[in-house]
Chains A and B, each alone.
Chain A
């Protein structure tokens, strides 16, 4: 059972780290602000979500799993809201250095 849980953790955490790497590459390489925002939200939502999901299998108990869930939901909520706000500022032409 422990080996199955370990394998689950390795797969999920590795996928999450991959999303962080891809999101950072997108943030550095994509041409304009809206496409960079697209890359950033992938790293935020899926990267952190997969890392947290993988770590649930290593924790001891329901409280730790719930804490990870709360952290992820908080990041989802703030990421969605601030992405809308940043995209609106970009759309309004608020592009000072």
Chain B
């Protein structure tokens, strides 16, 4: 059983890593945030699979913490995206 769970964890991790290509390609920052959200969920699934496969109970606690933090990342992003982007001007050039 452990072999199957380890293989499943590897497949999920590899899939999510391929999904990170979306961060490179964009085109908007919303798409990049979606890839980051998928990476968070895939990381949780990988941790759970690895924890059961190796019999390490503490990884479920790590997955719980990751689930909490991944939620805050998305909210903070949308909150920051509401603010207008500050022009990329050096401080000295601002009048």
Contact = CB atoms under 8 A, between A and B. Distances in A.
Interface residues of B, number: 45
A27 B38 contact: yes
A13 B10 CA distance: 12
Contacts of B12: 17, 20, 51
B28 A95 contact: yes
Contact of A51 (B18, B49, B61): B49
B30 A95 contact: yes
Interface in A58-72: 58-59, 64, 67-68, 70-71
A29 to B, nearest CB: 10
Nearest to A22: B15
The SS class assigned to the B binding surface is helix
Q: How large is the interface on A (under 10, 10 to 19, 20 to 34, 35 or more residues)?
A: 35 or more
Given A17-B12, A74-B68, A94-B81, A86 B4 contact: no
Interface string A1-44: 00000100110011011001101100110000100110010011
A58 B1 contact: yes
A89 B30 contact: yes
Contact of B41 (A28, A48, A85): A48
Contacts of A71: 44, 48, 60, 63-64, 67
Closest 9 pairs (CB-CB, A-B): A78-B71, A82-B74, A24-B19, A85-B78, A95-B28, A74-B67, A44-B41, A51-B45, A24-B15
